[in-house]
Structure 1
Amino acid sequence: MKAKSRFEVAIKKLYIAFHDNTLNPECCKQCAVGNILDNTDSWKHLSDHHGSLKLNYIGRVHQNLGRKFNGYTPKELIQIEVIFLAACGYDLPINHQNKKPKYPKNKDVLFKGLSAVIKYLCKLEGKRNIMDYTALLKQKHYPFSIN
């Protein structure tokens, strides 16, 4: 049996979290990366600030040793989180002074973050964006009847 790719596993975890209302940008275990890493928060030790693209000493060591967490490098993980938070409406890095969404668990807010992360995950894998629906709108022949 073929093992599922990191992409398939990550997408499934994010999809389930979104629909089970367990996607939360303000919780390190329930954010995009927290969900990808099985609801753990150990990834937060890769950077000194939530929402920063700068790896700290621990992050750089893991990156330089070629370590991967559920298939993703430390740089990829913090990039995923930054993309998620920025698309949800946060000014980064997160702190008490920076702007944040009024309702961070609002489905529209989370969908924007989820869509941005999926776009990035597709880019990492060299796939077309699976969230891009514009190709469907360009079709002249519809697979269903409009009657």
Structure 2
Amino acid sequence: MKTPKRLENALIKLYNAFHNNELNPECCSACAVGNILDNHDSWKHLSDAHGSTELNYVGRVHQRLGRRFNGYTPLELLHIEKTFLEACGFVTPLCHYNPKPTNTTNKDILFNGLCAVVGYLCKLEGIHNVMDYSRIFEFENEDPVYQFDVIYQ
């Protein structure tokens, strides 16, 4: 299976942001979409609220014109961000009175968000979730379905 280029690019950017501590759900240039879009925050003008999936006038114009940002439509970007925020424990859209996690840059919280985003990105591409490891434990007649070459050192 060949990984689509936009998915591969997004995964690399999210991986690097996670491991370089450059992922912040409350910052439009450092959140999931901000990282996918090369740490630009211009995408925030596609909606009136961070975490909303409702396009505003600017977003609708870009959507109708078929604009893509690093391969993703405006509506796809909003859904990616909503998925990330909710998996991190935020109530969307973000608002000062909505509950949020205590430590928003906690690695466990960010990992949960990334897992959800990767699942959503794979769904957009119509492929199996690349983070789903449950398939390696599948068996048939008490034999594993998948075989691995194990090298002992």
Q: CA RMSD in A?
A: 1.5
Tell me the amino acid that sits aligned with residue 7 of structure 1. Answer: L
Number of aligned residue pairs: 143
Shift in Å, 1:135: 1.1
Q: Deviations over 1:1-38 (max 9, x none)?
A: xxx71111001000000011101101100000000000
Q: Is 4-13 or 33-42 further displaced after alignment?
A: 4-13
Identity, in percent, stands at 61
Distance (whole Å) between structure 2 residues aligned to residue 125 and residue 142 of structure 1: 26
- Structure 2 match to 1:32: 32
Q: Which residue of 2 aligns with 1:48?
A: 48
Question: Which residue of 1 is the match for residue 18 of structure 2?
Answer: 18
Q: Which runs of 5+ in 1 are unaligned?
A: none
Letter in 1 for 2:87: A
In structure 2, the partner of 1:64 is 64
TM-score where L is the length of structure 1 = 0.92
Determine the C-alpha separation between the residues in 1 that align with 2:133 and 2:149: 15
- With structure 2 as the length reference, what TM-score do the two structures score? 0.89
Which entry has the higher C-alpha Rg, 1 or 2? 2
C-alpha separation in 2, matches of 1:136 and 1:79: 29
Tell me how far apart the structure 1 counterparts of residues 99 and 91 of structure 2 sit (CA, whole Å): 5
Does the C-alpha gap of structure 1 residues 145 and 38 become closer, same or farther in structure 2, counting only changes over 3 Å?
A: closer
Which one-letter code corresponds to 1:20 in the other structure? N
Matches of 2:50 and 2:116, distance apart in 1: 18
